[in-house]
């Protein structure tokens, strides 16, 4: 018998004519951090909602923490922690009040609850802000509180739905560190993200989902190695695209570039760059910008789907010091 804490078999969800999830299979082992990577609308959140009992599958089955998500939904809820991107934290309550409420919902007795709340507040660095209303918290503080709320009952399986979307790089790093720490302590984590770096940094294994289907699955290193050749990206005038592609295609398979860019997987490796530039020059192609990238998850994504991961270029790197993005607004409720 398969004892994996998250198992999905041919999981399908339709919303009328919209086929949001088209038969996904998952087998996430205990102690793994599993990244679910895909653009907005790929079906990540719908899949997570089914696995966390918030949505009934149209067909297929799933077991989480050893229980069926449809017939044993209550047992599933008792054993998982869930931090959903679009489940707001009540801004009128304080952090401590919300933890106390969450504890009661999980049936944690008063004395243990107080101790657990204090532990979690300290763990996520919110002890000083515990008695402040959430409306005064920054985006990063809210996400940390959200994480603390999802951990109140010491779940064995944790679902994090785009936990760092909209966060500044520092807050992102803090959250990553906490996810790693939880995982070291034995928690199985399923993480959805649209950020390549996040999946690369955190996940032991990832699945790439696009248009409701898992198109690639494996360890990040293996997936990248599978792409093989490095990608040469060039930018040129729009009227020279056809000519440039004709030259590039003689060096390897064309790969989709970001908006306006052309890409090719160099069969002969990075050493071919000089020759490519010479051939482009001979063909009269004026190169405005050129870069060579070792295979990345974006290349894996592009190779699997034929397009680059939407928004990947906009994700602030954890090494940057960018401003916090506005939170992404999503439709909620009856999906």
Residues near other proteins (CB under 8 A) are: 3-5, 29-32, 52-56, 65-66, 74, 77-79, 82, 84, 86-90, 92-93, 97, 100-102, 104-109, 112, 116, 133, 149, 153-157, 186-188, 204, 332-335
Shortest distance in whole angstroms from residue 204 CB to other proteins: 7
Beta carbons within 10 angstroms of residue 313's beta carbon: 11
Beta bridge mates, 291: 233
Q: How far is the CB of 121 from other proteins (least distance, A)?
A: 17
Structure tokens at 148: 């603390």
Residue 50 burial (C-beta neighbours within 10 Å; 0-12, 13-18, 19+)? buried
Cα–chain center distance at 229: 25
* Residue 47 vs 149, nearer CB to other proteins: 149
> In the bound complex, what is the minimum distance in angstroms from residue 54's beta carbon to other proteins?
6
Q: Which is nearer to other proteins, 16 or 319 (CB)?
A: 16
In whole angstroms, the minimum distance from the beta carbon of 68 to other proteins comes to 14
Least distance CB 115 / other proteins (angstroms)? 11
Reduced to 3 states (helix: H, G, I; strand: E, B; else coil), residue 28 is strand
Q: How far apart are CA 57 and CA 123, in angstroms?
A: 35
Handedness of CA 262, 316, 195, 49 (dihedral sign): negative
């Amino acid at each position: 018998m398969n004892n994996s804490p998250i198992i999905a078999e041919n999981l399908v969800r339709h919303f009328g004519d919209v086929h949001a999830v088209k038969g996904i299979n998952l087998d996430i082992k205990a102690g793994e951090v599993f990244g679910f990577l895909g653009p907005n609308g790929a079906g990540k959140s719908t899949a997570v909602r089914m696995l966390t009992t918030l949505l009934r599958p149209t067909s297929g089955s799933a077991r989480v923490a050893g229980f069926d998500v449809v017939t044993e939904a209550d047992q599933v809820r008792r054993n998982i922690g869930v931090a959903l991107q679009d489940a707001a934290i009540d801004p009128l309550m304080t952090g401590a009040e919300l933890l106390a409420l969450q504890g009661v919902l999980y049936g944690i007795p008063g004395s243990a609850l107080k101790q657990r709340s204090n532990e979690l507040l300290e763990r996520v660095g919110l002890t000083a802000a515990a008695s402040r209303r959430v409306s005064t918290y920054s985006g990063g503080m809210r996400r940390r509180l959200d994480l603390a709320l999802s951990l109140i009952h010491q779940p064995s399986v944790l679902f994090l739905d785009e936990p760092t979307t909209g966060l500044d790089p520092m807050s992102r790093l803090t959250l990553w560190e906490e996810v790693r720490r939880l995982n070291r302590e034995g928690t199985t984590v399923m993480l959805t993200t649209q950020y390549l770096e996040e999946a690369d940094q955190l996940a032991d294994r990832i699945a790439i989902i696009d248009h409701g289907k898992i198109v690639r699955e494996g360890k990040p290193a293996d997936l990248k190695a599978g792409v093989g050749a490095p990608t040469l990206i060039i930018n040129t005038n729009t009227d020279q695209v056809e000519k440039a592609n004709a030259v590039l295609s003689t060096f390897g398979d064309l790969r989709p570039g970001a908006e306006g860019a052309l890409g090719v997987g160099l069969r002969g490796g990075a050493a071919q760059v000089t020759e490519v530039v010479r051939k482009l020059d001979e063909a009269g192609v004026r190169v405005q910008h050129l870069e060579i990238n070792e295979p990345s998850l974006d290349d894996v994504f592009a190779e699997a789907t034929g397009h680059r991961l939407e928004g990947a270029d906009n994700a602030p790197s954890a090494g940057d010091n960018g401003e916090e993005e506005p939170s992404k607004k999503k439709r909620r409720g009856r999906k």
